[in-house]
Chains A and B, each alone.
Chain A
Amino acid sequence: MRASLENFLASKYGEWFIRSIQVGLGLLFIYASLDKIMNPGLFAKSISNYRLLPLPLLHISAIILPWLELICGIALVINRYQRAAYTIIGGLLLVFVLAITSAMFRGLDFNCGCFSMDSEESNVGLLKIFQNLGLFFSCVLIEYRTRVVQPNS
C-alpha cells in the first residue's frame, strides 16, 4: 500500500497530482487573504472574537496574517519557496483548528473569519474544523512527496 503510494507520487502523474493540489491550495489562500487585506479592522475584530490573543498582539496579527496567506499562496502557485510556504500554511491551519476547537468548547458563537469578512459566512463549528484538517492533510501530502522524491530532504 505504502510502496504503491510512493511509486505513484514519484511518477509523472503523481507530480501533476501534487502540483495541482499545490496550485489549488495556493489559489485558495490567495482568495482567503484578499478580503482580510482590504478590511484589516474587521479581521482584527474577527480575531478578537476568539479571545485567545493578548490585546497587544491583536493588530499586528491582523496586519501580518493575511499578507502571509497571500505571499504563501503566490509562492505555491508560482512554485518558488514552496516548501516554506506549505510549511507555514500547514502551521497556520493547525493554529486555526485549535482556535476554532477552543472557541467551540467555550461555547462562543461567531463568524469564523476564515475566508471572508462577510457576516453571512458560516460560524465556528465542526465543518470548519474538518475543512481546515483537510487542507492541512494536503500540506502533509505535498511534504510526503518531497521526501519520496528527495529522500535526503
Chain B
Amino acid sequence: MLQMKKLVKDILTLVTVSTVLGIAAQTVLPNGIGLRTEVTIIGDDSSEVAIPAVSINPNGNGEAAQNISLANAYKAFQNNSVLFFDARSPEDFGAGHIANATNLPVHAFMDSLTYLENLDPDGHIITYCDGEDCNASIDLAADLKMMGFSKVNFFFGGWQEWRDAGYPVESSP
C-alpha cells in the first residue's frame, strides 16, 4: 500500500515537471504553440468543418495555403489556369480523378522534387484528396508552400465533392 502511494506520488511528480517544462518551453521556442487549440473553419455555404489551425500551418510562420470552394475550383479548371494535384495513392488516382490532374501522393513528395522544380513557382496549384475525411490535400499544400510555390490552394471537398457535382473526371488504365 505504501509502495502504491509512493508510485502515484512519483507519477504525479513526473507529470507535473513535464507539464511545467512543456508550457515554459512554448515561450522560448520560436515555433511554440498556445495551450488553447486554435481552429480554422473550412467550407462553404453547404457545409463547414472546424479543423485545427496547426493542420494547415504547423510551424505558424509564413503564409498558409487557403481552402478553395468547389465553385472557384471549377472556375479555375474551366479557365485552364490551374494545376490540380491529387494527393491520394496511385491506386485511388487510377480509379478516378479530376480531369487532367497529376498524381502527387503526399507520402512520396520527396520523389517529385525534380518534377516540381520545373514548374512555375507563381502558377496556381490546387491540391485535393478524397474529401473531408482526409488531410493529404492540406499536407501537400503545406509542403508546396514550404517549397516556395506562392499560389497554392487545397480543395477540402476533394474528389467526392467534384465527382458528385458531375464535373469532368477521368480514370487511368
Q: Which of B17, B23, B136 contacts A63 (CB 8 A)?
A: B23
In the assembled complex, the CB of B151 is this many whole angstroms from the nearest CB of chain A, namely 22
Asked if B71 CB lies within 8 Å of chain A CBs, one says: no
Residue among B15, B18, B25, B106 facing the most chain A CB atoms (10 A cut-off): B18
CB pair A81 B3 closer than 8 Å: no
Write the nearest CB–CB distance from B53 to chain A, whole angstroms: 9
Q: Does A123 contact B (CB under 8 A)?
A: yes
Interface check A77, CB cutoff 8 A: no
Chain A contact patch, size range? 35 or more
Which of B11, B35, B51, B52 touches A87 (beta carbons < 8 Å)?
B11
Can you list 14 residue pairs at the A/B interface with Cβ under 8 Å?
A44-B52, A44-B54, A45-B55, A48-B51, A48-B135, A59-B33, A63-B25, A63-B35, A68-B18, A71-B21, A84-B14, A87-B11, A111-B107, A120-B110
Interface positions of A (Cβ within 8 A of B): 37-42, 44-45, 48-49, 55-60, 62-64, 66-68, 70-72, 75, 81, 83-85, 87-88, 109-111, 119-120, 123, 150, 152-153
